Amino acid sequence: MIPEINGDFLQQLKSFYFVATYGSVSTAANHMNRTQSAVTYQIQLLEKGLNIVLFLRIKNKMVLTDEGQALLKWTLKIFDDILGMHEDLQGDLQQGYLRIASTRPVFSSEKFVQTFMTFHEEYPNIYVSLNSGHPALLHSSIKNGQTDFGIIGTSTHLDDLDFIPLFQSPFLLVTEKRANFDILSITPETLKTLPYISFSVNLNEKISKYSLLPHEIQDYMDNASVLSCSNYYVIMKYVAMGFGCTIIDAFSLQSFDFINNIHIIDLQSIIPPLQYGLLIRKKSNMSKSKNRFIDILTTNLKNMNFGDYINKFNDKIHNS
């Protein structure tokens, strides 16, 4: 039997979602083009109807209670179902949005571009939005429903989202071309002493469950850092100029055009490779078009191998 539901219930859930996402009634109201009082009233009606407290106000921030966390999961599922219903009923003419979270190296890779072109031919009316940024923040955007799914590399076990492994990318020590490093001399101990140009992270990224590098390697780089930067392109530019070295995975390195100015050392014997995969909200109801994009992407990226790339890189360096 279908229960009686208040006609404003979906609007109440929508207000709840945006307050939960932004942690602020005023920011949610601005995003929804509503007054703060209207959003506050929607939240109050929702709490009254469900007979639960959804938020606590802590230091001027709206923080979800345990019940609020549970409702957020239900809210994401409900709107996923509604969106999936719309898209499926439209059939081959379906319109809609596909929001993908990842990093610049993924979006600029040939394999991803091939995936997008194939998908666009099949679903020309689906608007695709590519949202790039640090993987720690992308992880949060997927969990909160701001993006549909993501492609990231991680050294951390992620238990709050579904993770579908795609391929592993070995970590490389990257130095300026003339740097005199012998691969036999690189040990965990020597890694602690090198002058690094490290990837800087902000407070939100530090408290995230996500980690790009294994924690001990990140500690090495932070403790011996001569420069930090939040942009890998800038980091690679400074490495190529001889200001220091860095550690980056092979897949990410492929997206930069510094091959004639750098030297690499494969660290697979010291550091486990970076695991790339698809990151999806648990129990997310994916529409036909989203599942199709994932199928194409999985086919193109599954079990990529970087042995040839590393060998070709070293051959070019040795012959130059």
153-183: burial string, b at 16+ Cβ within 10 Å, e else = bbbbebeebbbeebbbbbbbbbbbeebebee
Q: 203: pLDDT confidence band, cut at 50, 70 and 90?
A: very low
Which pLDDT score is estimated for 6? 63
Which pLDDT score is estimated for 2? 54
Distance between alpha carbon 84 and the CA centroid of its chain, in Å? Answer: 23
Residue ranges of the domains in the chain? 9-77, 94-161+278-301, 168-274+307-319
pLDDT at 242 over 90: no
Structure tokens at 171: 């970590």
Per CATH, 9-77 and 168-274+307-319 having the same topology is answered: no
Which pLDDT score is estimated for 130? 94
Q: Which residues pair with 200 in a beta bridge?
A: none
Give the fold, CATH level 3, of 9-77: Arc Repressor Mutant, subunit A (1.10.10)
Which pLDDT score is estimated for 308? 75
More confident residue, 97 or 52: 52
Strands in 149-154's sheet, in edge-to-edge order, are 126-132, 96-102, 149-154, 274-280, 162-169
pLDDT at 204 over 80: no
More confident residue, 90 or 279: 279
284 to 53, 143, 144, 181, 222: CA distances (angstroms): 25, 10, 12, 48, 37
Range of weakest confidence among 139-153, 191-205, 230-244: 191-205
**Interatomic CA distance for residues 42 and 72, integer angstroms:** 15
Distance between alpha carbon 166 and the CA centroid of its chain, in Å? Answer: 14
Parallel, antiparallel, or unpaired for β 171-176 and 262-266? antiparallel
- Kindly report whether the global pTM for this prediction surpasses the value 0.95: no
For residue range 21-34, list pLDDT tens digits in order: 888 999 999 988 89
Give the SS3 label for residue 64: strand
Structure tokens at 161: 């989202």
Please answer whether residues 264 and 174 qualify as being in contact, where contact means their C-beta atoms are separated by less than 8 angstroms: yes
Q: Does domain 94-161+278-301 have CATH number 2.60.40.420?
A: no
Please give the share of the chain, as a percent, with pLDDT higher than 90.
Answer: 21
pLDDT at 118 over 90: yes
Q: 209: pLDDT confidence band, cut at 50, 70 and 90?
A: low
Question: Helices (DSSP H) in 164-231: which residue ranges?
Answer: 188-191, 203-206, 215-223
Name the helix (H) or strand (E) containing 230.
none
Mean pLDDT score across all residues of the chain: 82
For residue range 149-189, list pLDDT tens digits in order: 999 888 777 777 888 999 999 999 998 877 655 555 678 88
pLDDT at 104 over 80: yes
- DSSP letter at 59? T
Find, among 134, 146, 137, the residue nearest to 103 by Cα.
Answer: 134
Please answer whether residues 147 and 101 qualify as being in contact, where contact means their C-beta atoms are separated by less than 8 angstroms: yes
Which pLDDT score is estimated for 119? 94
Which pLDDT score is estimated for 207? 47
Q: 296: pLDDT confidence band, cut at 50, 70 and 90?
A: very high
pLDDT at 48 over 70: yes
Q: What is the CATH number of domain 168-274+307-319?
A: 3.40.190.10
Please give the share of the chain, as a percent, with pLDDT higher than 70.
Answer: 86
**49 CB neighbour count, 10 Å cutoff:** 13
